Amino acid sequence: YQGHRIVATIPQYFGYDEQGNPLPDDSAMEYRPGKRHQIAFGRMFHPRKFEAIIGADIPRLTGLNVGATFQATHGTPVSQRTADVHEQSWTVVGVLKPTFTAADRVIYIPLTTFYTIQEHEQALEAIAQLQRGSPAPATDHVADKDHAQDRQHASTTAPAPPAEEDPDNRAFRMPGEQDHAHHDEHYVLNPDGTIDLRIPKDQMMISAILVKTRPGGANVQGLMWEINNQNVAAAVNPAQVMSEFFRTFLEPSSRMLQAVATLVTIVAGVGILVSIYNSIAARKKEIAILRALGATRTRILSLICVEAALIGLIGAVLGIVVGHLIGAAGSIYLQRLVGEGFNWLAVSADEGIYLIAVVVLALAAGLVPALKAYRTPVATNLVAE
């Protein structure tokens, strides 16, 4: 709807039973450890009604709210093409609390209502015929238009017989909907608003199932092996897939950025060396006075090295702080764009290692000008200009 994904699911996904009552904590799904979906206002949808609940960002993004109705589109709208709008309408009955994940930008409908969408039922019939070795029927909207033209032509050449309505087998129609015969085979809308499907159960397929195991429960690898050795589904471990994604696509980019950061740090160290070296030339008299007042050469060398280390420390701390602030801006942008940010406050061990490395590099860079100050002659530099 308006480019936002619609997910067909069941109330148990949100921690509710078929009657809308909360499930025990150990039976409810957690989208993150210790965190469950919660309804901010409204209620859970009925599993057999044209109702929906929406993520926390959907009211802002689409204008939908409790009591509003909407019609789903087939696919996402693209330029130069109008999205195909399904005939069914859903009513929003609840809004979820923010989770700060992509779930905040999703519209959820009952799984039963998904099977009432005519195009999907046609696609399932086509799949079933292909599995039986028969040619698949046309399932696109072009075929529907052809049928509509045929019906229109027939209506102009012969009078249509009066429709006989069976009160026990009434099919739901939206206001203004044409009398398509194939629509009558999808479902029946009962007086209380619930739905009775007329689709064989072997055709009620779904796109994906999320399986979460308890600690010490099922053998995940064994379960995946068993599923993948059958021809009805493919089992995928999301953590494993994301790990491969990061290793394949993000790790090379991360290494390149680390190499650039290392080069920048080395250049900064050279800058510290040159800056302090030039300052030593301008502070020869002050160094000579310190020597005359009793400061040893080792003391002078230590002061210059500490100065360089402090410059490196301050620069590294400021760099880390600015980096986290940039990360905060990026997280906010991603949160608004895809509904999922990242923890920009987290401090990794790599940052501590980087901080120590910068201080050591700055200390080494300050050693050269410190040796120059170490060798500064006292008598020559105390002579008045």
Predicted confidence (pLDDT) per residue in 234-266, tens digit: 888 887 888 888 888 878 888 888 889 889 889
The stretch 173-184 carries a mean pLDDT of: 40
Q: How confident is the model at residue 133 (pLDDT cuts 50, 70, 90)?
A: low
pLDDT (0 to 100) of residue 370:
83
Q: Residue 119: pLDDT above 70? A: no
Q: CA-CA distance, 5 to 24, in Å (whole number)? A: 29
pLDDT of 383 reads 62
pLDDT attached to residue 168: 39
Cα radius of gyration rounded to whole Å, the chain: 35
- SS3 label, residue 174: coil
Mean pLDDT of the chain: 76
Closest CA to 95 of 155, 45, 31, 147: 45
- What is the rounded CA–CA span in Å between residue 274 and residue 255? 29
Nearest-angstrom CA–CA distance, 104 and 38: 12
pLDDT digits (tens, 9 = 90+) for 192-216: 888 888 877 777 777 778 777 777 6
Instruction: In whole angstroms, give the CA distance from residue 77 to residue 319.
Output: 42
For range 360-382, the mean pLDDT: 79
Q: Which residue pairs from 206-214 have beta carbons closer than 8 angstroms and sit at least 24 positions apart in sequence? A: 206/8, 206/111, 209/233, 210/29, 212/29, 212/30
pLDDT at position 252 is: 84
Mean local confidence (pLDDT), 258-278: 88
CA angle (361 as vertex; 357, 366 as ends), nearest 5: 150
